[in-house]
Amino acid sequence: MTLTIDVGNSNIAGGVFDGDKLILQFRQTTHRNSTSDEIGIFLRSVLRENSIDPAKITQIGICSVVPQINYSLSSAILKYFGCEPLFIQAGIKTGLKLKVANPKEVGADLIANGIGAASIHNDKDIIIVDLGTATTIQALSKDKDFLGVSILPGLKMSVQSLADGTSKLPNVEIIKADKACGTATIESIQSGIYFGTAGAIKEISQKIKTEVFKDSKPFIIGTGGFTRIFESYGIFDQIIPELTLYGVKKAIELNKKGTK
């Protein structure tokens, strides 16, 4: 079995694959100061609670955008699972060509999402929208060229910035807004965050299409924690919440010894 881990700024998402089938997903708040023992015990416990023997985990891949936790995470994997994890990072095999000014600047999450999308739709030009702590909108050609990315504040970050930067605006729940013209403060903030993000995604996706895909109509994939609230908005051709985990699994396959 394969354990895949996606370390984000807000949450750690994990998945267990039995062959090509994703049989378990779990989520934990990201704690940057966690010790290796805390991480290892948590991982083994969540597997056991879901009737999976930790001894059956034979390979582990990690996508992390939180460098502070990487050492503890790597140590936990070695101590509690007896194997060395594969980190998504510069120098590993990805199957992608990073057509950017500095490939080392490309985040592990963007690489994992690109690997996952290319493995699922290998004949399409793709725009990947990841709605996490930050919202990223990246372009991937059908030739597996990573063409660039647009980054903007995520929904939770936007809500928090309004609450922190004003005296009277509260922190609100992030939900699908029913109307643009709110008639109460909470409703108005939810409207602005929801429709503002939707509008940004549509505008940036259209600009990317014009700039890099020309006459092609890219396939738009949505992923990340807040994607589902836009499901009925018609922005995405497909929603794949587990895209990063699939990308990590594919990276493990690409980097097995003997793989060209």
Active site residues: 109
Contact predicate 147/212, CB 8 Å: yes
* Mutual angle of helices 67-81 and 36-49, in 10-degree steps: 60
> In 121-184, which ranges are continuous DSSP H helix?
155-165
Contacts of the segment 38-47: beta carbons below 8 A, 24+ positions apart: 38/72, 39/69, 39/72, 39/73, 39/76, 40/76, 40/77, 40/79, 40/80, 40/81, 41/80, 43/3, 43/14, 43/76, 43/80, 43/81, 44/80, 46/14, 47/3, 47/16
d(CA 175, CA 186): 11
